[in-house]
A and B are shown apart, each in its own frame.
Chain A
Amino acid sequence: MELLAKGRTLTAMKIYGWVALVLLALPVLFLVPISFGQGQAITFPPRELSFEWYTELVDDPRWGRTAWLSLQVAGLATLLATAIGTAAAVGIHRIEDKRVAKVMKMFFIAPMIVPLMVIGVGLYIVFAKMKLLGAVWPLAMAHAIVVLPFVVMPVMSRLASLDAALERASASLGAGQWRTLVFVTLPLLLPAILAAAVFAFVFSFDEVVLAQLLAGPRFETLPRKIYESLTQNGLDKTITSIASIQLYLVLGFLALHALWQRRRRRAAPRSLSAAATAERFAPDTTGLPGTPPRPSPSPRPSPTGPSPTGKMPPMKDTISPPPPARTETQRGFGIQFQRLTKFYGDKAAVAEADFAVQPGEFLTILGPSGSGKTTLLMLIAGFISPDAGRLMLGERDISRTPPHQRDIGVVFQSYALFPHMTVAQNVAYPLKARGVPKAEQARLVAWALDRVHMGDFADRRIPQLSGGQQQRIALARAIAFSPRALLMDEPLSALDRNLRVDMQREIRSLQRELGQTVIFVTHDQEEALNMSDRVAVMNHGRIQQVATPKDLYLAPANSFVADFFGESNLFRGTALGGALSLGGRSLPLPAPRSGGAVLCVRPEVIRMDDPEAPGWALTGTVTDARFLGSLLRIQFDTELGPVIVTRQTDGLSVAPVPGDVRRLSWAPAMSHAMAS
């Protein structure tokens, strides 16, 4: 970024910067040497040093009295302003109606915009009528209201920078509104609140206008006394020592802050390297300690009984999803979507989602961004409520249940680990919210951390962990309270490829071990293939198809699924009997049908120059051939438009070059026809 100012411009700016710094700092720093000068004369540099102006402060009881009074006023004002301002900031931040929120923001900024004197005159009239002049409480309240915007603004800006997922995480872990506020939101706001409190204190301790108007003749605060002696008695040198003491306090505070920051920074690198080593030995989860996955040959028990939605997609594949193992500790519940619908304005973000997730099943919701999959997830977790339809968890209708009473574990995309708590405190959070006894909490935290191989990390702070480790902790936290189901919102998207594949395996084996029902949201079809029992493909708010990966690939319900789930060649035409006619040609269909149809032919089933090529074979000219590792991808231009063919790079076939001509055909049974 140093690109815009270079050479002489930059030098000039730097010189100006240092001059400005001196101009800002020097006037204040002059006070210190002068305060040590002897005698009434204000001279710089002082001729003889003495402490008389500091001892004067102690000797003259009036200074102590006014200082004590100011301290009382400022302390009280700080307390009031911080408490009220924080409440207002959090409150405004929670207002959902944008217009109301804006009016509130304008309203709470007004005391900053309106000159002190104006508020002061108004309060003077009111307080004079109520005989409240010259007392600590009224002046402190007046200071508090005037400094309120300077509390509300920084606290709100800190709120805006917090991850909204943190509050959601807290709710999904079983905490109600107040618990979330006290244990998550407020601790995270603490730096901003403290800064605001210091500012409020300094402001009130230094305030002259209100102190003049609202204080009676015998009620003298320190700034008022200083002001009076400045304007009436000429230059009182005690002011230099008072200002110097203030300066020492500020510098001392600053030094402490710097020291604290440095200590924190020194602590960080050490733990980071430790995190890196831990990362290396972590993965491979096939041999988990603890309960071994118990194979259950019997059909899986379904607490929901036969699903009322009835029709599961036909499972024509032989590799049915492996029956989930059960343990004593956890047991997933079934989830049924019954025409679940959510509108945003006129647009249905989720339209009539209607399918069932079996207990212990790993179901992936797959869709491009904007397809409504996150909305669906938020509906399941309970952060938004459906406009129509029902959501059943086991036999319970949870459509209107608050998120903290749903008992569904959520792993967020950003992990949403509470940064102010240790790993163990994070994992214990849902247990605490449920009032689990201390000893049991410790046992369950250890159990959950063991499940994700993070047992040694219990006392770490969250920022000291790597992405993969945070991912594990988020998982441990979501399973610690034996939820009825687990939701995962693209939890692996922030990890690099190798770690992602490891985590996919790990999550899958943990899910089987626990027999947990998992709904996993992703836009990565490879991830969906790797992990799922079944995949629900979503687009434009609608569930397009729910099926096993194999069925999705071999028998896509429509052209969107065919295109989204793997590459495919689609031929649109009119079906009549066993043939599809298009562009003056006719292609064989796998089964007779009629009407508009789309024929889907996967690139790997197309044969090139088959000696037994049928009469309908296409003639293709190679336009592009690319090496993709294990595959060779060849693009043809044919009478029916571009066609893509892939071949294994087994060293047997010779890669064609652009311009080559090939006859293209396939076994009709390997193609798939669907409605257009």
Chain B
Amino acid sequence: MAQADLNPGLGTLRPSAPVGMTAWDRQRRGLTLSLMAVPMIAMVVLFVAPILVLVWMSFGGGSSNPPLAGYEALLQPVYLRLLGFTLQLAVITTVICAVMAYPIAYLMVNIPSRFNQWMAVTLFVALWLSFLARTFSWIIILQRRGIVNNFLVGTGLTDQPLELVYNQFGVYVGMIHILLPFMVVTLIPAMKAIDPAYVRAALSLGATPAMVFRQIYLPLSLPGLVAGSMLVFTLAFGFFITPAILGGGRAPTIVLAIRDQIQQLGNLQLAAATSMVLLVICLALLVIYDRIAGVDRLYDRGGR
């Protein structure tokens, strides 16, 4: 279709400047680059460089040790057990957090009631309050002469105080308590993003509420669940305070082992090699996560 007032005489007209970057594009790019400069330098100096040093150190770091000594030492069953326990701790914590957090987030997003405000305050306090303080409070509650045992013995439910802390049980309790709020606050924006019209549409089409939940709501909230699990898993995997304090030496994780390798054995090469194993696992997780959900999801949590 011909244009209304096309003028054939304009055939010779050329753009006044070469096609490419305009002044606007240049200014845009200039600001973007100057904004990114300092963060990039900081990341390279404080994050990438130490990790590269770690790689170098794990292969001997210029010392007379054989380059693979550190990695060979890691093949000892004790380290494999440590790694296994750490993974188990992280997985179980993540699963329990997901199961516990989902109904809480669902209530907060979908059911208007007074519960929401109270839960919001509790989550806020839990997120903003020191990990140390919260870990400490669990010692008070769970120790031999703590609140729970006093209650159990006092009411005659048990003859002797139960071993509730300074073991794996105590570590699980403390980890779940600390990481649960992270899962909830990641789930909430994901659930808020689900248009209620989908649920109404599915119900009006004759699906039972259980079907609607399974086939519509759950799949739509899955990205939030995956993002939250990613967050909780990585935090749990590298967690230090709670296993160290509530474990009482009976819940040794790989992170605690690194600390001991440095502070007690003074073996930097072994510590570096162990760190490399952790690093590889975590970065692999990041890539897998990106394949499943897309890393953008983590940036789309509605802010905190």
Which residues of A are interface residues toward B (Cβ below 8 A)? Answer: 1-6, 10, 13-14, 16-18, 20-21, 23-25, 27-28, 30-31, 34, 42, 44, 80, 83-85, 87-88, 90-92, 94-95, 102, 104-119, 121-126, 141-142, 144-145, 148, 152-158, 160-161, 176-178, 181, 191-192, 195-196, 198-199, 202, 205-206, 208-209, 212-213, 223, 226-227, 230-231, 235, 239-240, 242-243, 246-247, 250-251, 253-254, 309-313, 338-339, 352, 354-355, 382-383, 385-390, 397, 399-403, 542-547, 557-558, 560
Given A94-B35, A126-B53, the answer on whether A399 and B279 have CB atoms closer than 8 Å is no
A90 and B35: CB pair below 8 A? Answer: yes
B50 and A4: CB pair below 8 A? Answer: no
B121 and A254: CB pair below 8 A? Answer: yes
Q: Which of B43, B119, B141 lies in contact with A17, CB distance below 8 A?
A: B119
Given A121-B54, A542-B3, A557-B4, the answer on whether A385 and B286 have CB atoms closer than 8 Å is no
Given A106-B295, A116-B240, A157-B303, the answer on whether A254 and B43 have CB atoms closer than 8 Å is no
Chain B residues with CB under 8 Å of A142's CB are: 46
Asked if B157 is at the interface (CB within 8 A of a chain A CB), the reply is no
B136 and A31: CB pair below 8 A? Answer: yes
**Among A3, A155, A399: residue with most chain B CB under 10 A:** A3
For the complex, give the distance between the alpha carbons of A306 and B100 in Å: 75
Asked if B78 is at the interface (CB within 8 A of a chain A CB), the reply is no
Q: Which size class do B's interface residues fall under?
A: 35 or more
Given A87-B38, A91-B32, the answer on whether A223 and B47 have CB atoms closer than 8 Å is no
Add 12 more A-B contacts to A87-B35, A125-B268 (CB < 8 A).
A4-B110, A14-B115, A17-B107, A17-B115, A24-B177, A44-B150, A105-B299, A118-B54, A118-B275, A122-B54, A125-B53, A177-B28
Asked if B111 is at the interface (CB within 8 A of a chain A CB), the reply is yes
User: How many Å from the CB of A507 to the closest CB on chain B?
Assistant: 25
| Nearest-CB residue, chain A, relative to B289 | A113
A177 and B199: CB pair below 8 A? Answer: no
A544 and B128: CB pair below 8 A? Answer: no
Chain A residues with CB under 8 Å of B130's CB are: 202, 205-206, 223, 243, 246
A399 and B15: CB pair below 8 A? Answer: yes
B240 and A27: CB pair below 8 A? Answer: no
Chain B residues with CB under 8 Å of A223's CB are: 130, 132
Q: Which of A88, A115, A382, A385 lies in contact with B36, CB distance below 8 A?
A: A88
For the complex, give the distance between the alpha carbons of A24 and B137 in Å: 11
Given A206-B130, A250-B128, A388-B15, the answer on whether A543 and B3 have CB atoms closer than 8 Å is yes
B295 and A122: CB pair below 8 A? Answer: no
Chain A residues with CB under 8 Å of B15's CB are: 386, 388-390, 399
B13 and A157: CB pair below 8 A? Answer: no
B47 and A110: CB pair below 8 A? Answer: yes
A4 and B199: CB pair below 8 A? Answer: yes
| Nearest-CB residue, chain B, relative to A128 | B268
B131 and A206: CB pair below 8 A? Answer: yes
Asked if B134 is at the interface (CB within 8 A of a chain A CB), the reply is yes
A25 and B125: CB pair below 8 A? Answer: yes
User: How many Å from the CB of A76 to the closest CB on chain B?
Assistant: 14
Interface of B is mostly: helix
Q: Which of B103, B237, B298 lies in contact with A153, CB distance below 8 A?
A: B298
For the complex, give the distance between the alpha carbons of A78 and B180 in Å: 25
User: How many Å from the CB of B283 to the closest CB on chain A?
Assistant: 7
Chain B residues with CB under 8 Å of A254's CB are: 121, 124-125
Chain A residues with CB under 8 Å of B199's CB are: 1, 3-4
For the complex, give the distance between the alpha carbons of A666 and B141 in Å: 95
User: How many Å from the CB of A246 to the closest CB on chain B?
Assistant: 6
For the complex, give the distance between the alpha carbons of A23 and B97 in Å: 13
Chain A residues with CB under 8 Å of B181's CB are: 24
A3 and B200: CB pair below 8 A? Answer: yes
For the complex, give the distance between the alpha carbons of A247 and B134 in Å: 10
| Nearest-CB residue, chain B, relative to A540 | B1
| Nearest-CB residue, chain A, relative to B16 | A397
A27 and B134: CB pair below 8 A? Answer: yes
Q: Which of A84, A111, A400 lies in contact with B17, CB distance below 8 A?
A: A400
B304 and A102: CB pair below 8 A? Answer: no
User: How many Å from the CB of B231 to the closest CB on chain A?
Assistant: 8
Chain A residues with CB under 8 Å of B119's CB are: 17, 21
For the complex, give the distance between the alpha carbons of A403 and B25 in Å: 10
A125 and B299: CB pair below 8 A? Answer: no
Chain B residues with CB under 8 Å of A383's CB are: 24
Asked if B10 is at the interface (CB within 8 A of a chain A CB), the reply is yes
Complex A-B: 28 CB contacts under 8 Å: A1-B111, A2-B110, A3-B199, A5-B209, A24-B123, A28-B134, A34-B140, A80-B42, A88-B39, A92-B36, A109-B298, A113-B283, A117-B258, A118-B278, A121-B275, A125-B50, A152-B299, A192-B303, A199-B128, A206-B131, A230-B139, A243-B136, A338-B13, A399-B17, A400-B16, A401-B22, A402-B27, A545-B4
B240 and A117: CB pair below 8 A? Answer: yes
Chain A residues with CB under 8 Å of B9's CB are: 310
Chain A residues with CB under 8 Å of B25's CB are: 385
A21 and B118: CB pair below 8 A? Answer: yes
Asked if B172 is at the interface (CB within 8 A of a chain A CB), the reply is no
A339 and B279: CB pair below 8 A? Answer: no
In order of increasing CB-CB distance, the 9 nearest A-B pairs are A115-B238, A122-B50, A243-B133, A91-B35, A88-B39, A402-B24, A91-B36, A145-B46, A545-B4
User: How many Å from the CB of B139 to the closest CB on chain A?
Assistant: 7
Chain A residues with CB under 8 Å of B129's CB are: 28, 202, 243, 246-247, 250
Asked if B126 is at the interface (CB within 8 A of a chain A CB), the reply is yes
A84 and B38: CB pair below 8 A? Answer: yes
B46 and A123: CB pair below 8 A? Answer: yes
Asked if B159 is at the interface (CB within 8 A of a chain A CB), the reply is no
For the complex, give the distance between the alpha carbons of A246 and B135 in Å: 14
Please encode chain B, from 259 to 287, with 1 for each CB lying within 8 Å of some chain A CB and 0 for all others.
Answer: 10010000010011001001100110110
For the complex, give the distance between the alpha carbons of A310 and B10 in Å: 11
A113 and B285: CB pair below 8 A? Answer: yes
Chain A residues with CB under 8 Å of B158's CB are: none
Asked if B65 is at the interface (CB within 8 A of a chain A CB), the reply is no
User: How many Å from the CB of A240 to the closest CB on chain B?
Assistant: 8
For the complex, give the distance between the alpha carbons of A141 and B212 in Å: 49
B140 and A31: CB pair below 8 A? Answer: yes
| Nearest-CB residue, chain A, relative to B244 | A231
Q: Which of A84, A115, A121, A543 lies in contact with B272, CB distance below 8 A?
A: A121
Q: Which of B46, B111, B133 lies in contact with A10, CB distance below 8 A?
A: B111
Given A24-B180, A310-B7, A390-B16, the answer on whether A115 and B103 have CB atoms closer than 8 Å is no
A242 and B133: CB pair below 8 A? Answer: yes
Given A126-B50, A247-B133, the answer on whether A113 and B10 have CB atoms closer than 8 Å is no
